[in-house]
Amino acid sequence: MARFFERRGWRCISIADGAAAEAVLFSLDGGCAFDVVLCDLRLPYKSGLDLYQRAESERPDVASRFVLVSGDAEGVQVACPILWKPFPLCDVAVVADAILNRNLAAA
């Protein structure tokens, strides 16, 4: 997925587990350094759902950029988009562009 977005001119950071993602996402002071956060629902050490819920309560600027990705999100109720695996990359692009455009318009 990172290569797909890099070909579109985006700079991407890939993080392997939820604990590392939490450290990056919540160490930022004021403002969010990311335009879009694509996060698997099932991550080692800290789930994507846990990260999203923390962002909702502590960092709405981060939560507004989330897209959860999963093949097993049955019953998950969140305000952010969920992409169901497998999905075509064009679906990711549509969702990411919508988040980016929405956040740019709100700025």
- For the stretch 52-102, pLDDT in tens is 999 999 989 899 999 999 988 788 899 999 999 999 999 999 999 999 888
Please say if the pLDDT value at position 31 is more than 80.
Answer: no
Task: State the pLDDT confidence band at 30, using cuts at 50, 70 and 90.
Answer: low
Question: In order of start, what are the domains of the chain with their CATH numbers?
Answer: 2-101 (3.40.50.2300)
Residue with tokens 């099932």: 42
What does the block give as tokens for 98? Answer: 């919508």
Residue 82 CB-density burial (10 A; 0-12 exposed, 13-18 middle, 19+ buried): middle
Please say if the pLDDT value at position 48 is more than 70.
Answer: yes
